[in-house]
Amino acid sequence: MLGLTGISLAAAIFPGAYPIPFDAVLATLSGQETDATRKIVILDIRLSRICLSWLIGSGLAASGVVFQGLLRNPLADPFTLGVSSGGAFGASLAITLGLAGAGSVFGLRALPMAALAGALAALAAVVALGRIGGQLRRETLVLAGIVISTFLSACISLFKALNEESVSAIVFWIMGSLQGRSWDHVLLILPYYLLGCSLMLAFSRELDFLSLGESQARQLGVATTQVRLALLGGAGLVTAAGVAVAGVIGFVGLVVPHMVRLLLGAEHRPLMIYSALLGGLLLVWSDVAARVILPGGAELPVGVITALLGGPFFCFLLRRQRAGHS
């Protein structure tokens, strides 16, 4: 799996609108490439984009594992608790106010920053609403997520209605894309990704317990409230970071954990690690597909590719599950 990941990360450099010969890649990596355009395409455009898509794909898949185990719901995904709506709200606000291209913090435009702020604020609001008597209960969490998402979606619709010029920009952003992302975006999300992933991995063993329900986890010795908060924070950070730079890329966080569960079993630690690897791979290749399917250098939003792949697969999975129960 690791080998496949390495090979894919390298192989994904080649496909794209601008042709790259094999020796040019070798030359660039060893610092001997003289053609400046090739160097920029390889290092700054392709490689950064591959790294970003791998980070986002692996983060979404790992968060999916956490949300499904934590909420004890096989249909949960990283966006169930409204992180995506928060990000979309932040981005739409920036687009509507005409700030999308304005400002620059750490060499970045305001859009990803606004999306990140929106996603984190939505997560914080859901956790605050879902905390009743100091306990995080999954029913109240899901309800809080639905309330926040619905409210924010209404706000986004309001923005669209108020400012018709921004509709296409908002829609394109919500569909999810990795077009034109750079190392700056990688650097923006890397701290959140690393912090979130270490939290999720540290408490992955406890996910097994939480998936049995509150009272059993407690009776076996898990400090459920603290562990839940840590896992939720970790998964939320990673998801928010992904949403901030690439928009809402669906299905990776929903389908990948199920695929790995079918192959490996339900133990959450291996499930999380392999889901992250597979999720990274899936998004790298989906992004490759997104940039080569249309002729003439035009790109599809990568969210469309993952949904096109994920939709049918998910139907298959549901049917299989139904068949297994009857």
Partner 1 sequence: MKSVSQAHDAPLFYCQGLELGYAKQSETILTGLDFSIHAGEIVALLGPNGAGKSTLIKAMSGVVAPQAGQAWLQGSSLSDLRPREVARCCAVVPQQMEALFGLRVRTLVSMGRYSRLSFWSGPGSEDRQAVDAALEATGMTSYQERPVNRLSGGELQRVLLARALAQQAPLLLLDEPFSAMDMAWRVRCFDLLLERPHSSAVLVALHDINLAALYCNRILFLKERVIAYDGPVEPVFSEKLLSDLYETKIKIAPHPETGRPQAFPVPGARCVHPFAGGRRVPTPDEPMPGTRTGH
The contact set with partner 1 (CB under 8 A) reads: 68-69, 72, 74, 205, 208-209, 211-216, 218-224, 261, 265-267
CA distance 268 to 62: 10
176 beta partners: none
Strand 131-132 and strand 135-136: the pairing is antiparallel
180 versus 221: smaller Cβ distance to partner 1: 221
Closest contact distance (angstroms) between CB of 87 and partner 1 is 28
184 versus 208: smaller Cβ distance to partner 1: 208
123 neighbors 63 (Cβ within 8 angstroms): no
Burial per residue of 237-259, b for 16 or more beta-carbon CB atoms within 10 angstroms, e otherwise:
bbbbbbbbbbbbbbbbbbbbbbb
CA distance 39 to 42: 5
Closest contact distance (angstroms) between CB of 214 and partner 1 is 7
Closest contact distance (angstroms) between CB of 145 and partner 1 is 19
153 versus 211: smaller Cβ distance to partner 1: 211
Closest contact distance (angstroms) between CB of 316 and partner 1 is 18
181 versus 261: smaller Cβ distance to partner 1: 261
Per the structure block, which two tokens stand in for 298? 């035009």
51 versus 200: smaller Cβ distance to partner 1: 200
60 versus 227: smaller Cβ distance to partner 1: 227
135 beta partners: 132
Closest contact distance (angstroms) between CB of 238 and partner 1 is 21
Closest contact distance (angstroms) between CB of 200 and partner 1 is 15
Closest contact distance (angstroms) between CB of 267 and partner 1 is 5
242 versus 279: smaller Cβ distance to partner 1: 279
Closest contact distance (angstroms) between CB of 71 and partner 1 is 10
CA distance 61 to 175: 18
132 versus 294: smaller Cβ distance to partner 1: 132
